[in-house]
Chain A
């Protein structure tokens, strides 16, 4: 069974469209994340939810809106897509703890291409 799954794996769309990427984890973790990996492979945190509560919101355009309907899901909705949004988006999850020692498990990524 896949621990962290994302759909779709590939997403090609036109500028100005609105799209969503879904993420689900079956590990029983209480914290989920979205990371963006640019064309140079640089990875940066976008959002994090702990028990459905937003705890990290980095400097991300407000066209990006995460939604966590329950602890096992964290979806990413993007409005008015721009060329610069083209990237690979990774979802991850972990069990929160003091000291931040717990491993984050990553999904396979969603490659978004905006034309």
Chain B
């Protein structure tokens, strides 16, 4: 079945540091890939997405590129801020049939210190 593996946290960085959160996936077919963010005490928000190979999703300074050859969708940001502190979830959604569920990774807690 489909699965998503993302790097274990927690990740603690200083403000303006470079961020990478690794995400790899296993899926049949051609999944769409997503990064969701969950700020403390809130629900999930879509951060960015990519729907086909070599697509780059970007939002709020975050980027991730859909790499089919390495089955990866790593999240990067050049300079993190304290306000980026949150849990980040990598997810995939497969294109098969009428099953539209998201399969999530286990989440990575990011803490950014001033």
Q: Which residue of A lies closest to B106 (CB)?
A: A42
In the bound complex, what is the Cα–Cα distance between A98 and B100 (angstroms)? 9
Q: Which residue of B lies closest to A111 (CB)?
A: B41
In the bound complex, what is the Cα–Cα distance between A4 and B42 (angstroms)? 13
Cβ–Cβ contact B107 & A99, under 8 A: no
In the bound complex, what is the Cα–Cα distance between A50 and B101 (angstroms)? 11
Contacts of A96 in B (CB 8 A): 98, 100
Cβ–Cβ contact B98 & A55, under 8 A: yes
A4, chain B: closest CB distance, angstroms: 8
The interface centre, meaning the residue of B94, B95, B109 with most chain A CB atoms within 10 A of its CB, is B95
Asked, given contacts A100-B93, A101-B32, A108-B43, whether A31 binds B100 with beta carbons under 8 Å apart, the answer is yes
A-B contact count (CB 8 A): 71
Of the stretches B14-22, B44-52, B63-71, the one at the interface is B44-52
B56, chain A: closest CB distance, angstroms: 15
Contacts of A100 in B (CB 8 A): 31-32, 93-95, 100
In the complex, chain A residues 94-112 whose Cβ is within 8 Å of any chain B Cβ: 94, 96, 98-101, 103-109
- Report the count of interface residues on B (CB-CB < 8 A): 28
Q: Which residue of A lies closest to B87 (CB)?
A: A41
In the bound complex, what is the Cα–Cα distance between A50 and B98 (angstroms)? 9
In the bound complex, what is the Cα–Cα distance between A104 and B103 (angstroms)? 12
The interface centre, meaning the residue of A31, A55, A101 with most chain B CB atoms within 10 A of its CB, is A101
Answer yes or no: B25 CB below 8 A from chain A CBs. no
Answer yes or no: A12 CB below 8 A from chain B CBs. no
Cβ–Cβ contact B106 & A41, under 8 A: yes
Q: Which residue of A lies closest to B91 (CB)?
A: A43
Answer yes or no: B73 CB below 8 A from chain A CBs. no
Q: Which residue of B lies closest to A94 (CB)?
A: B100
A-B pairs with beta carbons under 8 Å apart, 7 shown: A33-B101, A35-B102, A42-B104, A45-B101, A99-B32, A103-B34, A104-B93
